[in-house]
């Protein structure tokens, strides 16, 4: 049986770890040729190796998605390697400074916004330009449950950036709705990745609170975000655009 992304070309930023890696693997499993973009050469190459082990096709492109030149090059390299760009998962992001709002420095704020928000916009800028040439495509941006509700644990810049990703997603979805380009976001709950493991240790009492607040009694796994992202990129979601898909084990339902 043909995979749900057969003959499609996909690009995943932050593909060298966590949610991005799981999604690159899932996309390749569904038949896509995948460009794994990451700042980390080691992580990115390892993902490509894992895709190869499951007999998929992937290529690593080193890209820092806080740099417009790097993003432009990443999209160009994707098209040069595989001829087009059908699905883009703008996922690279960071957790933020772990300080309360009045303790943030302007540099803390700018660092978070540069990656989590401006980076997503710049990726979309070049991806959409390519998709307009091809008359279609699907984009998924990584927001968060922190794009929907706030947090009292010193991550206000992160929360602001993830809310903004949702606003950007909705507006862009409207702009390109009649160009056959669908633009959605995914809002993960607490997913067991290296980023979260670090935060659970860094913020006092956070690990206990997170565990207690999980209605399903456990954290999510990266594969549980990869599957909805594959669906959002596939033709199965052809009428879904401009939405933020929450995958959080009912955390925000509380
Ligand atoms: N894990 C969670 O619980 C959770 C929840 C909600 C949202 N998210 C979001 O999911 C996304 C992925 O998070 P994760 O938990 O998989 O993290 P992770 O730390 O496991 O992976 C992030 C990847 O992004 C790469 N990266 C970082 N900065 C980059 C840059 N400037 N350019 C290119 N690549 C860069 C890293 O090298 C790494 O491979 C992030 O946007 C994060 O905010 C995560």
Instruction: Report how far residue 178's alpha carbon sits from residue 7's, in angstroms, rounded to the nearest whole number.
Output: 23
Per-residue pLDDT tens for 190-247?
Answer: 999 998 888 788 777 878 888 888 999 999 999 999 999 999 999 999 999 999 999 9
Percentage above 90 pLDDT, the chain: 89
Would residue 206 show up in a list of annotated catalytic residues for this protein?
no
Whole-prediction pTM value?
0.97
Query: Could you give the domains of the chain?
Result: 9-246 (3.40.50.720)
First to last CA, the chain: 40
Is 102 a residue whose pLDDT tops 80?
yes
The DSSP-derived string for 233-250 is: HSGGGTT--S-EEEESTT
The length of the chain is 254
* Ligand 1 in reach of 19 Cβ (< 6 A): yes
> How far apart are the CA of 178 and the centre of ligand 1, in A?
31
Q: Higher model confidence: residue 199 or residue 52?
A: 52
> How far apart are the CA of 1 and the centre of ligand 1, in A?
32
Active-site choice (158, 176, 206, 239) = 158
- Mapping DSSP onto H, E and C, the string for 108-169 reads HHHHHHHHHHHHHHHHHHHHHHHHHHHCCEEEEEECCHHHCCCCCCCEHHHHHHHHHHHHHH
Among 139, 136, 138, 141, CA closest to 120: 141
Return the pLDDT at 209. Answer: 84
Query: Which phi and psi (to 5°) does residue 128 adopt?
Result: -65, -40
> How far apart are the CA of 152 and the centre of ligand 1, in A?
21
Return the pLDDT at 251. Answer: 95
């Amino acid at each position: 049986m043909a995979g749900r992304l057969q003959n499609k070309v996909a690009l995943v930023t932050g593909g060298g770890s966590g949610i991005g890696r799981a999604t690159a693997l899932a996309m390749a499993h569904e038949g896509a040729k995948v460009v794994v973009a990451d700042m980390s050469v080691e992580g990115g190459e390892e993902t490509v190796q894992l895709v190869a082990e499951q007999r998929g096709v992937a290529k690593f492109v080193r890209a820092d998605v806080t740099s417009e030149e790097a993003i432009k090059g990443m999209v160009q390299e994707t098209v040069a390697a595989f001829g087009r760009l059908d699905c883009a998962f703008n996922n690279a992001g960071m957790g933020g400074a772990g300080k309360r709002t009045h303790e943030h420095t302007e540099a803390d704020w700018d660092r978070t916004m540069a990656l989590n928000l401006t980076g997503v916009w710049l990726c979309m800028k070049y991806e959409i330009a390519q998709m307009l040439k091809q008359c279609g495509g699907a984009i998924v941006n990584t927001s968060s449950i922190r794009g929907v509700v706030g947090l009292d644990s010193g991550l206000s810049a992160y929360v602001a950036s993830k809310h903004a990703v949702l606003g950007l997603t909705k507006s862009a979805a409207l702009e390109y709705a009649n160009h056959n380009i669908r633009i959605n976001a995914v809002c993960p709950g607490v997913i067991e990745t290296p980023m979260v493991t670090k935060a659970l240790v860094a913020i006092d009492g956070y690990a206990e609170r997170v565990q207690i607040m999980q209605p399903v009694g456990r954290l999510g796994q990266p594969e549980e975000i990869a599957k909805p992202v594959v669906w959002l990129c596939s033709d199965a979601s052809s009428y879904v655009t401009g939405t933020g898909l929450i995958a959080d084990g009912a955390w925000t339902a509380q």
